[in-house]
């Protein structure tokens, strides 16, 4: 079983034996183009995994899960097979690589890791950057299999759990001011606040200053400080289902895979007429 995280030093030493994916994506309002960044420079032989393209094209919400068939087709076209160790990286504060990590596991691929610290860590260890035209890989056969430690949950199920007084633990990865509803949401048309019963575990509290994940005891404490028992089942949520996956990775690091990512997250909930709460306690 591979680790959810690999270091840049490890990747530099093992680059020839893994398949790397660039999962760059930025928060709404950030003036950066991940496609242009990938075209300009990337880890050698990396392919581009765009969470907005490997998604459900029929759903109006952003980067919602694709069908199993569409995921398999996209990954096969990236030259990835079922036996490959996939390492995903990004250069973003919201860690979209963790969303791709979660998707691979949801579709049954266990040999998948995130580059801890992202592209900055790769550059820090003197990792080579490829600046020529990106290579087109030879397609391989990727077959979807049963999930390995990853689950998804939808709005209807969350509402049913709330009505039955059985919601359990719900961790929201957004910044405290967004969770409390004291600032507008980055996406237009969304209300401010959080799902009733949620607790705030901002992604930043799981990370070091360089964007790498903290050690296991510190990650456990970050969840405890947020009012979440890291040993019990947890639903994770965020703005649009990206940093919720970073919380899921953090929980995997503390050996908790009883985690359900709310795919629609606040983009769905805040854009609906479902009940909301504001402040830090309900």
Contact, 121 vs 212, CB < 8 A? yes
Q: At what angle do helices 243-253 and 216-225 cross, to 10 degrees?
A: 120
**Catalytic position from the list 47, 141, 238, 245:** 238
111 closest CA partner among 198, 37, 19, 39: 19
Instruction: Verify whether residue 47 is a known catalytic residue.
Output: no
Task: Read off the tokens for 69.
Answer: 């068939």
Catalytic residues: 238
């Amino acid at each position: 079983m591979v680790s959810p995280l690999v270091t840049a030093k490890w990747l530099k030493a093992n680059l020839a034996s893994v398949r790397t994916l660039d999962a760059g994506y930025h928060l709404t309002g950030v003036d950066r183009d991940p496609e242009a960044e990938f075209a300009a420079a990337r880890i050698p032989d990396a392919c581009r995994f765009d969470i907005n393209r490997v998604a459900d094209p029929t759903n109006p919400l952003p980067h919602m899960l694709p069908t199993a068939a569409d995921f398999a087709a996209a990954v096969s076209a990236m030259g990835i097979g079922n036996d490959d160790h996939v390492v995903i990286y990004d250069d973003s504060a919201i860690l979209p690589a963790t969303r791709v990590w979660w998707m691979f596991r949801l579709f049954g691929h266990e040999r998948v890791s995130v580059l801890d610290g992202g592209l900055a860590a790769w550059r820090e260890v003197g990792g080579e950057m490829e600046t020529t035209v990106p290579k087109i890989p030879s397609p391989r056969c990727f077959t979807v299999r049963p999930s390995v430690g990853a689950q998804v949950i939808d709005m209807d199920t969350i509402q049913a759990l709330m009505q039955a007084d059985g919601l359990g633990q719900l961790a929201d990865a957004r910044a405290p001011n967004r969770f409390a509803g004291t600032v507008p949401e980055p996406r237009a048309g969304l209300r401010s606040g959080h799902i009733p019963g949620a607790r705030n575990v901002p992604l930043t509290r799981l990370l070091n200053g360089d964007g790498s994940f903290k050690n296991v005891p510190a990650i456990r404490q970050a969840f405890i400080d947020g009012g979440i028992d890291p040993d019990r089942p947890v639903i994770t949520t965020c703005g649009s289902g990206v940093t919720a996956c970073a919380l899921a990775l953090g929980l995997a690091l503390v050996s908790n895979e009883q985690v359900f990512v709310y795919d629609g997250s606040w983009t769905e909930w805040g854009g609906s007429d479902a009940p909301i709460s504001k402040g830090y306690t309900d």
